[in-house]
Copies of this chain bind each other. A is one copy, B any other.
Amino acid sequence: TAITPTSEPADAQAAANAAQVSVFSENGTTYFYNPDESLSSQLSTGVISGGSILLPNWSAYSGTPSQIVAMKVRSTAPSAIQENEVKMELLTRQMICHTAADPEAYPDLPSEVDNFTGLCPLEPPAASPLHKSSTFGYVTTVYKAVNIKTGQHMCLRRIHGYRLVNTKCMGLVDQWKKMAHSNLVTLRQVFTSKSFGDHSMVFVYDFYPGSETLMARHFSNPSQLAASLLDPFNGDGSRPYTQTKNNLLRQQAAALSNTGLLPESLIWNYIIQLTSALRYIHGAGLACRTLDPTKILILGKNRLLVNCGGIFDVLTYDPNSSNPMAAMAVYQQEDLVSLGRIVLALSCNSFIAIQRENLQQSMELVTSNYSTDLRNLIMYLLTNPQRVKSVNDLMPMIGARFYTALDTCIQRTDTLEMELQRDIESARMFRLLTKLGTVVDRTELNMDTAWAETGDRYMLKLFRDYMFHQVMEDGRPFLDMAHVITNLNRLDAGIPDKVCLMSRDEQNVLVVSYSELKNCLEQSYGEVLAAATAKPKHQGLS
């Protein structure tokens, strides 16, 4: 009977209570409580305050908004997966934060490097320990690690065997550290270290757990291409023309036959994010210089993050250059060519597509499968090398697709807000149960060994029994999370409704209101708190 909505009450407060019970039974769970004092002051917005509208003195999860429900209906995936997708992704990220390196597999891993501990490699070990990064020309390793001072998980990119000879380049590092953009992994710190047993240079970046590279997401499918053909960004061009040509043809055929080409909307979404990052970087007078599929991260469904900014500025720093910033203009132009190659490769779903000898055929593929805008964008970036280009010139080709990207982003915001609204209340429930546990069954307080079994505590104890130990008519346990939640909410709100509590020997029945129980809890917890914060009692003489 505690769960069934009671009959229509007369007064307004009870009407509000009845309403929440009814919402509860429709949605499975509902929560209500006394808001913090600071909350009510926010209520001026959109609601008539004063006499004619009753503000609740509790708060509750108000169910899934209809626009979110409609959003789910629109998508095709099963609703159970839809429901959990966001949380699963977040839980996965948390778990990745807590992975650890097996000490047996990595016996040489230092326990601390500068301010960092808990190092764990993020990429599979290279085939040979001397394998150099095709991007940077040095042996490199990427770790996740915990900053000892802040407790934050960070990403460490170590350049092996690099001796910094000139610290002037740190000016550029400082510029990179000031960069903050939602499509850029921010550089936080650069230091040299001998902790690895060599001279290493370490670049510390924000860590995005669960992210993978653009290369891994789109160009590492074994059914797509052999790994040996996947590296034209560092291409030596020594492979026979016919072999790559045949591969390209074969792949194009396969892609088209099962419509394996990427949807144009996804490619544009990537373009918007990459140009957003480039525009920001170039606007700051810097150049990315690592716009490479192996140095672009994808987080979740399609959030892109440009990675490794600043590393080249240190590694290739020329102390003899009279004006180190002059070279930036050249690097910025190179960024735009890299962008063009990435877009072309995505559009052909192949990295062979961007080899010089395949360009014409690749462009034909783009022309026949995608919009003129996409074709024009690639043409602008990859042809006419003498013309000075700007990322700003790409905006008219993107056009209304900006609106689509924004709409998608706002929808995700709505979904996240809804999930958060649901979970906010659990924290409150947990705190309330903790408070109750602190008070009930305490062996003594202020030398009073009967404290737990008398007065307020006795009622609270019986209330706890009532919450957790319900039985059915025939004595079987009655397990119902909703019963627990409803009663905790009523306790927290302190509503005037009454509840029957039975003593453990079933000899006595106490009828008590939730508001009395709330007083009991506050009084008793107050006593415990006062005792806890009292001056320490010295034992012996004092």
When the two chains form their complex, are residues A413 and B424 in contact, meaning their CB atoms are under 8 A apart? no
When the two chains form their complex, are residues B90 and A26 in contact, meaning their CB atoms are under 8 A apart? no
**Given the complex of chains A and B, what is the CA–CA distance between A206 and B47 in angstroms?**
16
- Select one of B16, B65, B437, B473 contacting A464, CB under 8 A: B437
Taking the complex as formed, is A420 at the interface, i.e. its CB lies under 8 A from any CB of chain B? yes
CB distance from A450 to the nearest CB of B (A): 13
CB distance from A204 to the nearest CB of B (A): 9
When the two chains form their complex, are residues A65 and B206 in contact, meaning their CB atoms are under 8 A apart? yes
Number of interface residues of A (CB under 8 A): 159
Taking the complex as formed, is A421 at the interface, i.e. its CB lies under 8 A from any CB of chain B? yes
**Given the complex of chains A and B, what is the CA–CA distance between A39 and B467 in angstroms?**
31
- The proximity string for A residues 448-479 relative to B, scoring 1 for CB distances below 8 Å and 0 otherwise, is 00000000000000001101110011111111
**Chain B contacts of A46 at CB under 8 A?**
96, 122, 209-212
When the two chains form their complex, are residues B423 and A92 in contact, meaning their CB atoms are under 8 A apart? no
**Given the complex of chains A and B, what is the CA–CA distance between A442 and B471 in angstroms?**
10
Chain A residues numbered 410-468 whose CB sits less than 8 Å from any CB in chain B: 410-414, 416-417, 419-421, 423-424, 426-427, 429-431, 433-434, 437-438, 440-445, 447, 464-465, 467-468
Taking the complex as formed, is A129 at the interface, i.e. its CB lies under 8 A from any CB of chain B? no
When the two chains form their complex, are residues B424 and A91 in contact, meaning their CB atoms are under 8 A apart? yes
When the two chains form their complex, are residues A279 and B403 in contact, meaning their CB atoms are under 8 A apart? yes
Closest to A276 in B: B403
**Given the complex of chains A and B, what is the CA–CA distance between A56 and B102 in angstroms?**
11
**Chain B contacts of A26 at CB under 8 A?**
150-151
**Given the complex of chains A and B, what is the CA–CA distance between A1 and B533 in angstroms?**
19
Taking the complex as formed, is A330 at the interface, i.e. its CB lies under 8 A from any CB of chain B? no
- The proximity string for A residues 508-542 relative to B, scoring 1 for CB distances below 8 Å and 0 otherwise, is 00000000000000000000110110101111000
When the two chains form their complex, are residues A16 and B478 in contact, meaning their CB atoms are under 8 A apart? no
- The proximity string for A residues 467-506 relative to B, scoring 1 for CB distances below 8 Å and 0 otherwise, is 1110011111111010010000000000000000000100
When the two chains form their complex, are residues A152 and B66 in contact, meaning their CB atoms are under 8 A apart? yes
Taking the complex as formed, is A32 at the interface, i.e. its CB lies under 8 A from any CB of chain B? yes
When the two chains form their complex, are residues B476 and A65 in contact, meaning their CB atoms are under 8 A apart? no
Taking the complex as formed, is A164 at the interface, i.e. its CB lies under 8 A from any CB of chain B? no
Closest to A39 in B: B91
Instruction: Give 6 closest A-B pairs by Cβ, nearest first.
Output: A26-B151, A62-B97, A52-B105, A182-B410, A423-B423, A402-B402
Given A43-B95, A70-B186, A441-B464, list of 7 further CB < 8 A pairs? A56-B98, A62-B153, A90-B420, A416-B416, A429-B430, A473-B539, A476-B531
